[in-house]
Structure 1
C-alpha cells in the first residue's frame, strides 16, 4: 500500500485520480483550500492554504510514494490588460506552491517516489489571452 499526496484535490481530474488510487488500495492524503466531504477508510483530507500554511504534520511525518500537484489558475486576458498582481498570483500558485510543498516533503519521498507537476499546453504553444498561465506553467516545466 502506497502513500500518495495530492494537493489541489477538488478538481474533476483530481477526484477521478483519487478514486482510482483508492480502488488500487493506496492511502491518499488530499489537500485543498476547500472543505472536502468525501469519506473513505484510506483517505485523509485537509483544508489548507499551501501558500500561507505548512503542510499538516500527518503528511510530513509519513513516507510519500507519490506526489501530485494539481493547483492551477487561468486568468484569460489580453496581455496588455494583465496586471502585475495577476502574474504574481499565478506564479505563486503554480510555481512557488509546488516548490514550497516539495521542500516540505523532500525527506519523506521514498527512493522510488513519483512526482507529478501539472503544466499547460499554453506553456508550449502561443495562445491568445494565455500569457499569465503560460508564463507560470512554463516556470513549472523549468522546475521539472
Structure 2
C-alpha cells in the first residue's frame, strides 16, 4: 500500500486515477479546487481536499494533511492543468500568468513541499503534453499552454539530477490526444483515440513501476496528435 498525492482530480484523468489507486488498496490524497466529485464517491481510501494549487498559501493544507496523517509520500502525480486557447496577440500577460501558475509554479511549489516526505524509491510523475516537446507539431492558440508544458519538462530533468543521490525519481509523461474536457477546450469537436480511463490505466502502472527503469526522462505517450 502506497501513499499517493494527485492534483487535478475533479475530472478527466485525475478523477479516474484517484479511483484506480484507491480501488487497488492505496491511500490517495486527491487535490482539486472542486472536491465534490470524489467526495460523492465516498471511497474509504480517498481523501478529497479542496485546494487552489495556484495559491501557495492554500497548498499548506496539503502539507498539514501529510504531516498529520501519513508522514511519507510514495508517489506525487502533478496532473492538474490549465489551458487558454486564444490567438497569440489576444493572450494577455494575465492569461500567461494564470496558465503558468497552475502548469509550472504550482508543480514546483507542491513538489518542494513534498520533498521532506519523500523517501528512497519515491516517484514524482508530471503530466505534460506533446505540445511541450521540442520539435513536435504545434497548434495555433496554445502559446501559453504549450510553452508552460515545455517548462515543466526541463524542471523535472533538473530535479532528477538534483535528487538522484536521495534516489527520488522524477519523470514526465507527455500526453497526446486523450478524450477529456481539456481536449475539447483546445480542439472542439475532435474525438481522441484514447479515453481518460485508458490513459489513467497507463499512468497508474507507470507511477508504480516507471522509476525502476527511468529517471529524468520524458516519455511521449501519444498514438496521435490532433
State the distance in 1 between where 2:51 and 2:75 align. Answer: 19
Structure 2 residue 46 is the aligned partner of structure 1 residue 43: yes
- 1:94-141 C-alpha deviation (Å, 9 max, x unpaired): 000011101111010121111111111111232111111011111111
- 2:81 maps to 72
- 1:34-84 C-alpha deviation (Å, 9 max, x unpaired): 132231111111111123212331224421000011111111111111111
RMSD: 1.3
Equivalent residue pairs, number: 144
More strand by share: 1
Which structure has the larger Rg? 2
Q: CA deviation at 1:12?
A: 1.6
- 1:131 maps to 143
State the distance in 2 between where 1:51 and 1:75 align. Answer: 15
- 1:5-33 C-alpha deviation (Å, 9 max, x unpaired): 01111122112111211122100011111
| Structure 1 gaps, min length 5 | none
- 1:7 maps to 7
After alignment, is 116-125 or 77-86 more displaced? 116-125
TM-score (norm 2): 0.61
| Structure 2 gaps, min length 5 | 157-226
State the distance in 2 between where 1:75 and 1:128 align. Answer: 11
State the distance in 2 between where 1:17 and 1:135 align. Answer: 25
After alignment, is 131-140 or 33-42 more displaced? 33-42
